[in-house]
Amino acid sequence: MKRLSSKARVEAFTLIEVLVVIVIVFVLGAMLLPRLAGSHKSVLVACLNNLKQIDLGFSLYASDSRGEYPMQVSVTRGGTMEFIYSDHVFPHFQKLSRYLPQPQTLVCPLDKSRQAATSYEALNDLNISYFLNADASTNNPATTILVGDRSLQANGQTVKAGLFILTTNSNLSWTPDLHLGRGCLAFADGHVQSYLSKSLNAIVQQQPLATNRLVVP
């Protein structure tokens, strides 16, 4: 049988060559990971800023409406109370048009399945990244969740769009979709914060009401 010449022979990698490749891959990974982490951190800050502005919008509405949010006011008085059981969240956010000029604020930068509306008139649920607590009030503002990332799961199941009944014994966590196991919440007193899944149930148990109706886009 004819043998291959030494020039045509395919040579295997030596141990040193393999180690060099591993070192190069490790160094490249070490260089790229901080950049990716920094990029994600900046997006998280942008999401928190969105929620801060939304929170302020609802607070301004309440200050103009005897301390009540739109979902606490009947449509006969310009509110959105009757829309709570429609399973749509956009009518409530439309009431912020006077206080939150840019509807782009309603979309998290990482929520690629949602696109910002061009105007409040064109707003629908697919232009919103955040759930609304229809039972939020200004009575216990420091602990009352007002709005937050829609990337929720309860008892291991993704919370679907529509009306979700949250109880203080719900096993709530975040899906990994948006913030890598974290999520952002805004409270009725104006403060916003991001939380890991392991901290979420403790926040839920602090709610003034045993049951809260979350309208999820």
Structure-token match 């010449």, residue found = 5
Selection from 68, 58, 53 nearest residue 93 by Cα: 58
Q: Are 81 and 72 in contact (CB under 8 A)?
A: yes
* pLDDT for residue 39: 54
- Look at 28 and 109; give whichever has higher pLDDT: 109
* E strand or H helix that includes residue 22: helix 15-63
pLDDT digits (tens, 9 = 90+) for 64-90: 999 999 999 999 999 999 999 999 999
Instruction: Answer whether residue 11 shows pLDDT above 60.
Output: no
The position carrying tokens 């899944």 is 197
**Any idea what DSSP says for residue 146?**
E
pTM of the model: 0.81
| Sheet-wide strand order for 162-167 | 162-167, 211-216, 130-133, 145-149, 182-187, 192-196
Q: Average pLDDT of the chain?
A: 87
Q: For 198-212, what is each residue's pLDDT tens digit? A: 999 999 999 999 999
Q: Write down the pLDDT at residue 43.
A: 77
What percentage of the chain exceeds 90 in pLDDT? 75
pLDDT at residue number 68 = 96
pLDDT band (50, 70, 90) for residue 36: very low
Alpha-carbon distance of 72 to 46, in angstroms, equals 29
| Alpha-carbon distances of 176 from 74, 187, 206, rounded to whole Å | 37, 22, 24
Average pLDDT over residues 139-158: 96
The DSSP call for residue 85 is G
CA distance 41 to 49: 12
